[in-house]
Structure formats: C-alpha cells, structure tokens
Amino acid sequence: MPENFKSRDKIIKEWINEIGRVVLANIDSQLEIEQKTTPNDLVTNMDKWIEKELVKNIRTVFPSDRILGEEGFGDSIEDMKGTVWFVDPIDGTLNFILQNENFALMLAVYEDGIAVQSYIYVVTLDRLYSAIKGEGVSCDGQQLPEPRDSALNEGMLATNSSIMIEEKYDHIRKIAKASLGLRLIGSAGLESVEVAKGSIVAYIATNLKPWDVAPGLLFMEELGLKATQFNNEPLNLLENNNIIFATKKAHQEIIKLLN
C-alpha cells in the first residue's frame, strides 16, 4: 500500500469514527428537515453538519484537493484532474428520517479519475466497509472474498424505487422476473455493499448522483465485479448515471435484457 494511501486511510477512519459517534448520540433528536426537489428528496440538519465537518477536515489536511459533496459545501467539479473527494453525508436520508436505520456515510477518493480509496460506514451497526486500490475490500478490517459469479436466476436483484414506480421503466422490470427475488433498501451505498458481499447478484438503479456511486465503484473493481451504465458504457462521475453493479454473469444477462 502506498504510504500516502496508508496515512490518508488512517485519517479518514478517525473522521468517520468521530462523526459516527455524534450521529448515534443524536439519532433520537428532533431533526430539522427541508425538501430539496421533491417530497421524498429531503435534507436534514444532520446531513448538512456531517458534510460541513468533512469538508472542513479535508480542506485543513488536504488543502489542494477538491470536493464534490451532495449538499453543496464542496467545489464545482468539471473534470477529474488531481485528487477529488466524493462526500455523501447520509446516503438514505429518507430511511434516516423515517426508520433511524438503513443509511450510510460515504466517502471516496479519486486521483486523476481513478478510484483509489472508498468508505461506506453503516452508522447504526458501527460497521465500516472500505477499499484501497489493489488491496481488496474489507469490513472492519476483515477481507471480503470475491463473490461467486452467479447468474440472475441464482440470486436476488436490488433496485431503486423509480424503476418500480415510474411507467417509463416498465421494460426494465423483466430483469426482476429473471432473478430469484427483488429487494429495495433505499440506499445506494448499502445495496453496493450487498453486491460486494455476494448477498445479491446485481443492483440496478436510475439517475444516481456521482456521490451515490463513487464509493461502490471501487468495491466492484476490487472484487472482480462489473460496474457500468445501462448502455454498457463506463460510469461518468461528472453526471448522473443509470447503473448496473453485478456479477459478470448477471451483468451480461441484464445488458441483454435491456437491449
């Protein structure tokens, strides 16, 4: 592991640990909730606090790096040159508000467009999934094995609610019928983790933001899994994506069914 990755990994884990303690200590507190674009696209004072805290920390320790954060406290990113951080303070905000679980804090670091470090912290379980390029994926320090290359009919599929609700995605539901069953968690990060663990064979989702997919992308790369857009093109982290995270076999079947 390069020395800069090692030292940055240690710092990031310290930040995540400190922020996680604050979130858990305040999880039952009254939230300030605002609507962003739609009634189910919400932001809380906790989302904002976490992102501000992380942006402050990154700017203090890594002042020349740039940051793309969900709540807009980072930079305006138009290219992937240099070191770029992706910050999703609470992935699964609706779950956080209504369930007090099934949400994650997510961070990813890219260097010249290449994913080099990523972190998905399941706050209520105090469980940290992390990856460093070339070092695999671990959960609380325990290495994850490469998942079995299962086909669609050998496992479950995860998706987002848009595919199930909006009529324009009717044609995509045939993918669910080809699987053993369908699961919706409501957090791109947690669903990425399920693919990485081999608990599901694929996760397909529409219109995901860069910070939704940046951490999971490295997980897929490190575990020999596939990560593409619906058109089989690589993900573009400067725009929204319709994504497939899957085993090789399931990915091949999904691309065939989509086209």
Same domain, 159 and 194: yes
Same domain, 133 and 7: yes
Total domains in the fold of the chain? 2
Closest CA to 194 of 164, 220, 162: 220
Check which CATH number belongs to the domain holding 21 and give it: 3.30.540.10
216 and 101 belong to one structural domain: no
22 is in which domain, residue-wise?
Answer: 3-143
- The per-residue pLDDT for 203 is 98
215 in Cβ contact with 86 (< 8 Å): yes
β-sheet bridge partners, residue 243: 205, 229
- Let me know whether 85 and 181 are in one domain: no
Tens digit of pLDDT at every position of the chain (259 positions): 667 889 999 999 999 999 999 999 888 888 888 888 877 877 889 999 999 999 999 999 999 999 999 998 989 999 999 999 999 999 999 999 899 899 999 999 999 999 999 999 999 999 999 999 999 999 999 999 999 999 999 999 999 988 888 888 888 888 999 999 999 999 999 999 999 999 999 999 999 999 999 999 999 999 999 999 999 999 999 999 999 999 999 999 999 999 8
Question: Which of 143, 164, 192 is the last residue in one of the domains?
Answer: 143
Last residue of a domain, one of 143, 171, 193: 143
The DSSP code sequence of 167-230 is GGGGGGHHHHHTSSEEE--S-HHHHHHHHHHTSSSEEEEEEE-HHHHHHHHHHHHHTT-EEEET
The answer on 215 and 137 residing in a single domain is no
7/127 same-domain check? yes
Parallel, antiparallel, or unpaired: how do β-strands 241-246 and 202-208 relate?
antiparallel
Q: Give the separation between CA 223 and CA 115, rounded to whole angstroms.
A: 14
Contact, 89 vs 51, CB < 8 A? yes
* Domain finish residue from 120, 143, 166: 143
Handedness of CA 26, 30, 32, 37 (dihedral sign): positive
- Asked if 203 and 134 sit in the same domain, the reply is no
Regarding whether 52 and 120 lie in a shared domain, the answer is: yes
